[in-house]
Structure 1
């Protein structure tokens, strides 16, 4: 019976139901009363996800006003949202109220190496598993650096013989570390961080330093001394947000 009742709701009714829940969530989170306009609350929210949808939220607020304040004809709203609009506000509602977390989205066993390990072994694993960077651990299994494809390319360019041969025997991970262009070019986040928060770290770094991070490591609380739970690259996360 409940599902049947839901199916009989018009798009405007479904839209307003979702809008009201979203409005209540944003106001409760920010401590704003209903004296302030929805657009004011959106523009001044401290929620890190809301700015991503700011323009859409303000437009949806204007649509809400049109539905609520316009006269009805035959009991139907004159401003009846398209299904795509209903889908959009539902997507935004879920993104803001229960955003996907970096775990389990980017959870996997992170393959790394020690400074004294031979590079050919980790390169073979990179090829098998199709990953583009790996952490370097110290004796306590703490991350001390990250080696990316760019680092590997620079080392290869500097070590190919004139005849095109390349010897990797006895070459250590530490040899590749000398070719790292930007040291400590990585960050850590906790497992409870949203994918939007992680993405913003990449964007903020680019805006500040005019270059990209090699990666973001995930640990339980964001502490670098904790076990790695995953690794995010900007290519990985761009498709998610």
Structure 2
């Protein structure tokens, strides 16, 4: 004999999932309000579209959140009476929107996407020795220090400019050349030091602000407290942000 489940229990379960969905949706809505600066209005979909342009994490969840907005409208605006929902979100949907709400409320630290190791050099080291070392590593950016103080970021672009300036006929003479000699070929305003406590959203805002100013960040260097006098514990390039979007 099939045991019948009381109707009231079904209604209670439906209400519980619907209320959990609403709570998570409202938490996400509040986070979007904080993420989007100078929004013309605080409508969920308007904020969602604008946040997508600034944050890779929002782009990752964009389709889900857009669908949840439609479901939320059905739950709230088509409710036939108090505490009674005509639609019920699936358990998987409730659990997913709750995961998204938690992620947006407590985004991971930037150390989660930073390079595991940062290879540094002293400004007085010879260029030829560094070139030999570079063959051992897959890095393309190297912080250069002068007696423990950050001096500049060595990049592929700077190296090309430097080699071009040293080109004599078909040869490049590197004898006696130090890393500090490359510094004039590098833009020293393309690096930003930040604390390891910064989160991904704050990092993306940092890159976006520089773009809006017509500037560019080659790299963000992570230290314990964001000081140039501290040795790096991680490095993030624009490419690292692109990789997180594709994951």
TM-score above 0.5 = yes
The alpha carbon displacement at 1:150 in A equals: 0.4
Structure 2 runs not aligned, ≥5 long: 1-12, 34-40
Partner of 2:138: 130
Structure 1 runs not aligned, ≥5 long: 1-8, 31-37
2: CA distance, partners of 1:27 / 1:203: 21
Aligned pairs for 1:1-241 (under 5 A) are 17-24=20-27, 39=42, 52=55, 53=58, 60-70=68-78, 77-78=86-87, 89-90=97-98, 92-106=100-114, 108-139=116-147, 141-162=148-169, 164-180=170-186, 182-208=187-213, 210-241=214-245
Structure-2-length-normalised TM-score: 0.69
2: CA distance, partners of 1:200 / 1:145: 23
**Alignment RMSD (CA, Å):** 4.0
Contact 1:71 1:77 in 2 (8 A): yes
The alignment covers a number of residue pairs equal to 216
- Judging changes above 3 Å, is the alpha-carbon distance between structure 1 residues 64 and 150 closer, same or farther for their aligned structure 2 residues? same
Contact 1:119 1:168 in 2 (8 A): yes
Structure-1-length-normalised TM-score: 0.71
Report SS of the residue matched to 1:128.
coil
Contact 2:17 2:89 in 1 (8 A): no
- Judging changes above 3 Å, is the alpha-carbon distance between structure 1 residues 223 and 215 closer, same or farther for their aligned structure 2 residues? same
Contact 2:162 2:182 in 1 (8 A): yes
Contact 2:109 2:199 in 1 (8 A): yes
The alpha carbon displacement at 1:27 in A equals: 5.3
Report SS of the residue matched to 2:185.
coil
The alpha carbon displacement at 1:23 in A equals: 1.9
- Judging changes above 3 Å, is the alpha-carbon distance between structure 1 residues 166 and 81 closer, same or farther for their aligned structure 2 residues? farther
Contact 1:102 1:192 in 2 (8 A): yes
- Judging changes above 3 Å, is the alpha-carbon distance between structure 1 residues 61 and 142 closer, same or farther for their aligned structure 2 residues? same
- Greater RCO (Cα-Cα under 8 Å, separation 6 or more): 2
Deviation per CA, 1:17-64: give whole Å up to 9, x if none: 244135257659x9xxxxxxx9458989xxx99x74499567744531
The alpha carbon displacement at 1:234 in A equals: 0.5
